[in-house]
């Protein structure tokens, strides 16, 4: 450590060793906690797209580390309403010298370029369709905590993979961690190009997998509309207690949230003992605290 000195926009350049170091730190935080050591500085949170889990998870992690979270909520009254651009908003908050900027925005913003123009490191909290690296890390941390080493483990992504930045980051991360990936869902939800195993039948996919990661149907990103109705999706690919009989008794059912109940999964699935959906959220705070501490340097990890 430090894991990273500058911005954290994607998972490129992370080795399996560094990822496991980060997981060890998250585990230490989970089991015994670490004292807040960073009082007097701030963490800028700039959310230009909707968020519940990611934003509040970073806010919680900031408090636990000792950074004061300052929030620009793109949905509420800000100078965006007066026509100020997202880029200008970021530069102005950066000028207040927070320790880091946690940013969620669309594909229209070039976060890489923005990061080059400021000295404050940026953490990607969901960038358009490109990636959501801390979500992939917290999901993988949840898998490791339950299953151990992921090498050779079979991870199934189910649903709207084409529009999912979570899946995009997982493809990078799980490759580094040595897991096997398969996809299942309507063909129009599959990435245009991919190198993974594909299942058209949910029952076959569930028999294959150690982890079933359902993904939200990203209706807001379906620019041309989809031909698949919600009812057909639910009938063919929605998880329920009946079709989950095909799934391993030691398997994990996951979803990054928010869940469309009665589309990706029935509400009853949340009570299945294999379901880890709320554990993902809890682990998200540990993982993000570990990331902030490791980006701050060694002295904040002890």
CB of 37 to ligand NCD, least distance (A): 27
106 contributes a contact to ligand NCD by CB under 6 A:
no
* Binder of ligand NCD out of 27, 30, 64, 132 (CB under 6 A): 132
Interface with ligand NCD: number of residues (CB under 6 A): 11
Binds ligand NCD by CB under 6 A, chosen from 27, 64, 165, 170: 165
| Edge-to-edge strands, sheet with 252-254 | 197-199, 180-184, 154-159, 211-215, 252-254
The answer to whether 123 and 134 have CB atoms below 8 angstroms apart is yes
**Is 166 a residue that touches ligand NCD (CB under 6 A)?**
yes
Alpha-carbon distance of 283 to 143, in angstroms, equals: 10
- String of DSSP letters for 82-150: GT--HHHHHHHHHTT--SEEEEEE-TTS-HHHHHHH-SSPEEEEEETTTB-HHHHHHHHHHHHHHHS--
Q: Inter-axis angle of helices 16-32 and 277-296, to 10 degrees? A: 110
* Binding residue for ligand NCD, selected from 27, 154, 216, 276, defined by CB under 6 A: 216
265 pairs with which residues across the strands?
Answer: 239, 261
Rounded to the nearest 5 degrees, what angle is found at the Cα of 47, between the Cα atoms of 44 and 50?
A: 150
Q: Which of 285, 293, 6 is nearest to 302 (CA)?
A: 293
Q: Give me the least distance between CB of 133 and ligand NCD, in Å please.
A: 11
Minimum distance of ligand NCD from residue 54's CB (angstroms): 4
Q: Interface with ligand NCD includes 185 (CB under 6 A)? A: no
Ranked by CB distance to ligand NCD, the top (closest) residue is 216
* Residue 126 binding ligand NCD, by CB under 6 A: yes
Look at the block and give the residue holding tokens 């998200």: 284
Q: Which is nearer to ligand NCD, 14 or 102 (CB)?
A: 102
List 36, 106, 191, 257, residue binding ligand NCD (CB under 6 A): 257
> Is 44 or 126 the residue whose CB approaches ligand NCD more closely?
126
Cβ-contact 158, 184 below 8 angstroms: yes
Q: Which is closer to ligand NCD, CB of 51 or CB of 89?
A: 51
Q: Which two tokens stand for residue 229?
A: 């109705």
C-alpha radius of gyration, the chain, whole number: 19
The site string for ligand NCD over 196-215 (x = CB under 6 A, - otherwise) reads --------------------
Q: What are phi and psi of 270, to 5 degrees?
A: -65, -20
Nearer to ligand NCD, 98 or 131 (CB): 131
Cβ distance to ligand NCD smaller for residue 42 or 135? 135
Of the residues 135, 142, 169, 301, which one makes contact with ligand NCD according to CB under 6 A:
135
List interacting residues with ligand NCD (CB under 6 A).
53-54, 126, 132, 135, 165-166, 216, 218, 256-257
């Amino acid at each position: 450590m430090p894991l990273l000195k500058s911005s954290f926009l994607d998972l490129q350049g992370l080795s399996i060793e560094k990822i496991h170091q980060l997981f060890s730190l998250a585990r230490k935080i989970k089991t015994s906690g670490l004292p807040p050591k960073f009082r007097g500085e701030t963490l800028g949170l700039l959310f230009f797209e909707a968020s519940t889990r990611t934003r509040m998870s970073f806010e919680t992690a900031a408090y636990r580390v000792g950074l004061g979270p300052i929030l620009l909520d793109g949905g509420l009254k800000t100078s965006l309403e007066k026509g100020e651009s997202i880029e200008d908003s970021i530069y102005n908050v950066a000028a207040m010298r927070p320790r880091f900027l946690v940013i969620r925005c669309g594909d229209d913003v070039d976060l890489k370029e923005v990061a080059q123009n400021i000295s404050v490191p940026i953490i990607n909290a969901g960038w358009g369709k490109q990636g959501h690296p801390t979500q992939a890390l917290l999901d993988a941390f949840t898998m490791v905590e339950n299953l151990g080493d992921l090498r050779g483990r079979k991870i199934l992504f189910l649903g709207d993979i084409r529009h999912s930045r979570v899946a995009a980051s997982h493809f990078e991360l799980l490759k580094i961690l040595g897991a096997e990936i398969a996809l299942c869902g309507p063909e129009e939800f599959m990435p245009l190009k991919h190198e993974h195993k594909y299942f058209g039948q949910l029952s076959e996919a569930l028999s294959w997998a150690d982890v079933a990661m359902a993904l939200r149907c990203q209706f807001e990103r379906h620019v041309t509309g989809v031909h698949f109705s919600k009812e057909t999706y639910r009938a063919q690919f929605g998880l329920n207690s009946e079709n989950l009989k095909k799934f391993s008794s030691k398997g994990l059912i996951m979803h990054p949230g928010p869940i469309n109940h009665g589309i990706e999964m029935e509400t009853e699935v949340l009570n299945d003992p294999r379901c880890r959906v709320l554990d993902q959220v809890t682990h998200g705070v540990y993982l993000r605290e570990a990331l902030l501490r490791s980006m701050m340097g060694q002295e904040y990890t002890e």
